[in-house]
C-alpha cells in the first residue's frame, strides 16, 4: 500500500455526475462523484464528504439514485472496488483488510477528507475496517443491510436468500445485478464471501468509536433483526433504523426513505462539529 497512486483525472458525465479513473497500488479504480466542489450549509459551514461502498459483485450503478440525492448537499463518491464494475481486476483476490487499506489510499488520491462512510451489504465490512484502521479518515459510519449475517448460515443459504430477495427488489436493481454478476463470476463472488468470513476479516469494533447508523430493510431475507440489534449492542456508539417495507437493496429499492434517515444522521454529525 506504499506505492503512490497515479491519477488520470475526471471525465464529466452529463450535468450531475463525474467519472474518475485512478490507479492505486496497480489497480485502476473507477468511481463516480457528484455534488459541488466545496459544498457548504446555509450558514457557511463546509459539509462532510460522503463515500458510498457497494456490496457483493454489484457495481456502483445501483448506488447512483442515492448518490444523486446526497449530492444536493454533499460531495459524494462511489468507487467500484477492485475486480467489480469498471475497475480493473487485481492479480489475486484481496482480503477485507487490503480492500479497506486500498480504499483509504484511494480517498487520499481523489482528495476526500474526513468523511461519512456508507457501506451496503458486504461493503459494510470494508467500511468498518477503514473506521477501525484509519479512524482519522472517518467522521461517521452507515452500515446498510450489513452482510453476511452469521445467523443466516451457510453460503448456500445466503445464495437462496439472494434469490428470494430478487423477487422483492425493484426491477432495475435486478437488471443491474444480472449484468454485473457475470463479470465478477461465481468464483469471484465465492472468494469474496470466504474472505469476509475469515476471522481476520472481522474489524475490531471496539476501536470504532465514530457514530454509527445501522439501516436494515424489514423485508430483507439476508439480514435479520437480531443481527442488526447485535451490531447496535457491540459497536460503542450505534443505533438501528429499520425501514419496514425495504428489501436488501435499500439504497436502490428504498431510495427516498434511505436518504431521509441518513441525511438526518449526517445533519446530527455536522451540527456536533460546530
111 found inside a domain? yes
Q: What is the separation of C-alpha 73 from the centre of its chain, rounded to a whole number of angstroms?
A: 19
Query: Residue 1's pLDDT is what?
Result: 33
- Domain membership flag for residue 246: yes
Residue 46's nearest CA partner among 60, 36, 56 is 36
In this prediction, residues 137-156 reach a mean pLDDT of: 88
pLDDT digits (tens, 9 = 90+) for 60-105: 999 999 999 999 889 999 999 999 999 999 988 888 899 999 999 9
Mean pLDDT of 205-231: 94
Task: Kindly state whether residue 203 falls inside one of the protein's structural domains.
Answer: yes
Is residue 20 one of the residues assigned to a domain? yes
Which domain, by its residues, includes 235? 6-272
Of 234, 230, 256, the C-alpha closest to 243 is 256
| DSSP class per residue in the chain | --SPPEEEEEEEETTTEEEEEEEETTEEEEEEEES-SS-B-TTSPBPPEEEEE--TT--GGGGHHHHHHHTTTS-EEEEPPTTSTTSPPPSSPPPHHHHHHHHHHHHHHHT--SEEEEEETTHHHHHHHHHHH-GGGEEEEEEES-S--GGG-SHHHHHHHHHHHHTTS-HHHHHHHHHHHHHHHHHHHHHHHHHHHSGGGS--GGG--S-EEEEEETT-SSS-HHHHHHHHHHSTTEEEEEETT--S-HHHHTHHHHHHHHHHHHHHHHHHT-
Q: 191 lies in a domain?
A: yes
Let me know if residue 1 belongs to a domain.
no
Measuring CA to CA, how many Å separate 246 from each of 63, 65, 75, 221?
A: 15, 15, 26, 10
| 141, 128 Cβ separation under 8 angstroms | yes
For residue range 24-44, list pLDDT tens digits in order. 999 999 999 999 876 655 555
In a domain, 132, yes or no: yes
Q: Is the pLDDT at 7 greater than 50, yes or no?
A: no
Residue 14 confidence (pLDDT) = 38
Q: Residue 223: inside a domain, yes or no?
A: yes
How high is the pLDDT of residue 196? Answer: 60
Predicted local confidence at residue 87, as pLDDT:
96
Q: CA angle 156-52-138, nearest 5°? A: 110
Number of folded domains in the chain?
1
pTM of the model: 0.89
Percent of the chain with pLDDT over 70: 84
What's the CATH code of the domain at 165?
3.40.50.1820
What is the pLDDT confidence band of residue 200, given thresholds at 50, 70 and 90?
Answer: low
Amino acid at each position: 500500500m506504499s506505492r503512490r497512486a497515479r491519477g488520470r483525472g475526471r471525465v464529466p458525465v452529463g450535468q450531475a455526475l463525474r467519472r474518475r479513473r485512478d490507479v492505486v497500488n496497480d489497480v485502476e479504480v473507477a468511481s463516480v462523484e457528484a455534488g459541488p466542489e466545496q459544498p457548504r450549509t446555509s450558514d457557511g459551514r463546509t459539509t462532510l464528504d460522503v463515500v458510498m461502498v457497494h456490496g457483493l459483485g454489484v457495481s456502483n450503478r445501483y448506488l447512483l439514485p442515492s448518490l444523486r440525492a446526497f449530492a444536493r448537499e454533499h460531495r459524494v463518491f462511489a468507487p467500484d472496488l477492485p475486480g467489480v464494475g469498471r475497475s480493473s481486476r487485481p492479480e489475486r483476490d484481496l482480503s477485507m483488510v487490503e480492500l479497506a487499506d486500498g480504499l483509504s489510499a484511494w480517498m487520499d488520491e481523489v482528495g476526500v477528507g474526513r468523511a461519512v462512510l456508507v457501506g451496503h451489504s458486504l461493503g459494510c465490512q470494508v467500511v468498518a475496517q477503514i473506521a477501525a484502521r484509519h479512524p482519522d479518515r472517518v467522521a461517521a459510519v452507515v452500515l446498510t443491510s450489513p452482510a453476511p449475517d452469521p445467523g443466516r448460515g451457510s453460503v448456500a443459504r445466503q445464495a437462496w436468500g439472494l434469490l428470494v430477495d430478487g423477487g422483492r427488489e425493484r426491477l432495475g436493481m435486478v437488471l443491474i445485478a444480472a449484468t454485473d454478476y457475470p463479470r465478477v463470476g461465481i468464483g469471484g463472488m465465492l472468494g469474496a464471501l470466504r474472505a469476509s468470513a475469515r476471522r481476520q476479516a472481522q474489524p475490531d469494533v471496539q476501536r470504532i468509536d465514530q457514530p454509527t447508523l445501522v439501516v436494515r430493510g424489514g423485508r430483507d431475507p439476508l439480514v435479520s433483526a437480531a443481527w442488526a440489534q447485535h451490531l447496535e449492542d457491540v459497536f460503542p456508539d450505534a443505533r438501528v433504523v429499520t425501514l419496514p417495507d425495504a428489501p436488501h437493496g435499500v439504497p436502490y429499492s428504498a431510495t427516498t426513505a434511505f436518504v431521509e434517515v441518513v441525511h438526518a444522521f449526517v445533519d446530527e454529525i455536522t451540527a456536533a462539529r460546530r
